[in-house]
Amino acid sequence: MPRKGILVDRPFERLTREQAELIHQASMQILTDPGLISFNREAVDILHSHGAAVESIAGDHQSWQVKIPEQLVLKALDTAPKTVKLGARNPDNALIMHGDEPRVYLITGSETNIWLDVDFPTYVNKADPTKEIRVPEFKPRRGTIDDLCQSAHVCEHLEMVDGYIRTVNIQDRDITEENKDVNKFFASLNNNTKHFMSGLTSLKQLDNVVRMAELIAGGKKALEDNPIISFITCLVKSPLQFVDDTTETFIEVCRRGLPIVVSSSPQAGTTAPIKEAGIMAQINAEVLAGITLGQLVKPGTPVLYGSVPVRARMDTLGDSYGSVETSQYNIDCVQMARFYRIPNYSTSGVCDSKIPGQQSSIERLFSDMVVTMSGPQYLHCAFGLLDCNSVFCLLQAVLDDTHFKMIEFFLRQPRVDQPELEAMLKQIRDVVATSQKLYIGHIRPVLRSGEISGVYPFEGSGEADDVFELAHERMKELLARPVEHIDRETTARIFEEIPGILPRLNIYESGS
């Protein structure tokens, strides 16, 4: 049984069918005029051999202008699977995504450099020293592999987290470009039994991480049936450029038939038009170009339509994930993916705020609600991420889990049918006939059935705002709860066959 996610009965859509069709047509035009610039030779060769017009561009870097004809895109859209399965170490955590079904799976990530610790020092009121309060203090530091293990551990226990994208970049002294991939894959998989998606730091490590996944899944065929890992690549740099190294990675992952996200992240105002129609036509063209390339490499490769559009801040021209328009673009992308019936990877919850607080709550909850309501299949909703994409706070992830429980409850389908209404009519008549005219007695049958939403779990006593302290307690409880690690025998084989994994990650040998 796969995870159930959140099935959005009637997804919110901003675009009419005609507007989606217009965006599609505009994207088709973009793919032939101006087309894409490719810095990757192999992509050029593959596209050219299937009918794309290619022209070399003069300059310092070797690059080509590629014009992708419409029929090539349409054929790719035809061969791209409409249902994608993302497996998991625990098969009950598998995700089954149908492109035309708005069932939302909630995913963590993505990689941040800074880990935010929290402490609660006591402050004394100067005017009245008998008055003391504990105030949360957030301390940033560089992320480590221990942090990654902790994050994967807590996210294993967060009820609303359906899949795991690593939340922190491992920057230990003994982590290098060469061993980073195997360590981040092992640390995540060893502490979390949900689906694991990641990018690659070094293409040289692709076969090592695939082999690691095969050992855990139970062999090559078992991994095909239960792909416990998948990949994400930003092969397109906006506007309209195939990047050399990420495109190479993308091609190699497609060759191995593992699920992969074709992701594009244009910034409205700088690398894409600021106007909605413009950024939509461009991002759609960029994602379709990636999907087309992937299907030409290996028809039937499971791909997700990946969209991470964002609006520029007007004060700094940096990303503004907290802006309202960012959510609008994401919702439009969800709709375009559904237009093609390809499962969608979307984004919400990334906020501009630098620490947990009122701004982060408002920004996150706003985008989490509206984007979830649009029904993306794979929602990278940034549990715990702050300061756009650069800071991760585990405490915030615990809060996000709570907020998503509220969203899940809100999106439950209403029960309004004839038997229910007949029962309600009887109840109304019965109660109106009593002297007290209160329905309280009828609360009880539903009180324990899960039909009534709970109070906010981090509500303080009296007027005190104890949210952070209570959430911190919850975080510690989750950390103390054990996780199901990879078994001893498989761990031994992984350490034997895969070079570069830090010995201290072997829980059976290090004594940790």
At a CB cut-off of 8 Å and minimum separation 6, what does 231 contact?
Answer: 197, 198, 199, 200, 249, 253, 258, 259, 260, 261
Is there binding between residue 423 and another protein (CB under 8 A)?
no
CB of 251 closer than 8 Å to CB of 43:
yes
Query: To 5 degrees, how large is the angle CA 278–CA 280–CA 285?
Result: 100
Query: C-beta of 448: minimal distance to another protein in Å?
Result: 8
CB of 87 closer than 8 Å to CB of 228:
yes
CB of 14 closer than 8 Å to CB of 325:
no
> Which CB sits closer to another protein, 447 or 464?
447
* List 432, 440, 449, 503, residue binding another protein (CB under 8 A): 440
Is there binding between residue 441 and another protein (CB under 8 A)?
yes
> Which CB sits closer to another protein, 277 or 431?
431
CB of 381 closer than 8 Å to CB of 341:
no
> Which CB sits closer to another protein, 141 or 426?
426
Instruction: Please name every residue paired with 312 in a beta bridge, in sequence order, or none if there are none.
Output: 319
- β-strand 114-119 against 391-392: which pairing, if any? parallel
Query: C-beta of 429: minimal distance to another protein in Å?
Result: 14
* List 74, 124, 133, 447, residue binding another protein (CB under 8 A): 447
Exposed, middle or buried by CB within 10 Å (0-12, 13-18, 19+), for 141? exposed
Token pair recorded at residue 494:
């992984």
Q: Provide the 3-class DSSP secondary structure of residue 400.
A: helix
Query: C-beta of 458: minimal distance to another protein in Å?
Result: 17
DSSP class of 486: P
Closest CA to 322 of 292, 357, 294, 295: 357
Is there binding between residue 415 and another protein (CB under 8 A)?
no
Query: C-beta of 128: minimal distance to another protein in Å?
Result: 22
Which range in 140-148, 300-308, 321-329, 437-445 contacts another protein by CB under 8 A? 437-445
* List 127, 444, 463, 482, residue binding another protein (CB under 8 A): 444
Which range in 32-40, 108-116, 371-379, 436-444 contacts another protein by CB under 8 A? 436-444
Is there binding between residue 219 and another protein (CB under 8 A)?
no
> Which CB sits closer to another protein, 358 or 449?
449
CB of 325 closer than 8 Å to CB of 366:
no
> Which CB sits closer to another protein, 300 or 441?
441
State which amino acid sits at residue 127.
A
Is there binding between residue 445 and another protein (CB under 8 A)?
yes
Query: C-beta of 455: minimal distance to another protein in Å?
Result: 11
How far apart (Å, rounded) are the C-alpha atoms in residues 322 and 348? 9
How far apart (Å, rounded) are the C-alpha atoms in residues 171 and 484? 25
Which range in 27-35, 114-122, 215-223, 435-443 contacts another protein by CB under 8 A? 435-443
Query: C-beta of 410: minimal distance to another protein in Å?
Result: 22
Query: C-beta of 441: minimal distance to another protein in Å?
Result: 5
> Which CB sits closer to another protein, 413 or 449?
449
Q: Could you write out the DSSP letters of every residue in 233-300?
A: E--EETTTEE-HHHHHHHHHHHHTT--EEEEE--EETTTB-SSHHHHHHHHHHHHHHHHHHHHHHSTT
Is there binding between residue 461 and another protein (CB under 8 A)?
no
Residue 372 φ then ψ, to 5°:
-60, -40
The dihedral through the CA atoms of 93, 246, 100, 348 has a sign that is positive
How far apart (Å, rounded) are the C-alpha atoms in residues 512 and 187? 13
Angle subtended by helix axes 358-374 and 324-340, to nearest 10? 20
Q: Provide the 3-class DSSP secondary structure of residue 275.
A: coil
Query: C-beta of 442: minimal distance to another protein in Å?
Result: 9
Query: C-beta of 430: minimal distance to another protein in Å?
Result: 10
Query: C-beta of 466: minimal distance to another protein in Å?
Result: 18
Is there binding between residue 437 and another protein (CB under 8 A)?
yes
* List 436, 449, 482, 503, residue binding another protein (CB under 8 A): 436
> Which CB sits closer to another protein, 418 or 435?
435
How many chain residues interact with another protein (CB under 8 A)? 10
> Which CB sits closer to another protein, 445 or 511?
445
Chain CA centroid to CA 429, Å: 49
> Which CB sits closer to another protein, 451 or 509?
451
How far apart (Å, rounded) are the C-alpha atoms in residues 441 and 318? 55
How far apart (Å, rounded) are the C-alpha atoms in residues 331 and 213? 33
Is there binding between residue 438 and another protein (CB under 8 A)?
yes
> Which CB sits closer to another protein, 443 or 464?
443
Is there binding between residue 462 and another protein (CB under 8 A)?
no
* List 424, 443, 464, 479, residue binding another protein (CB under 8 A): 443
- Residues in contact with another protein by the rule CB under 8 A: 435-438, 440-441, 443-445, 447
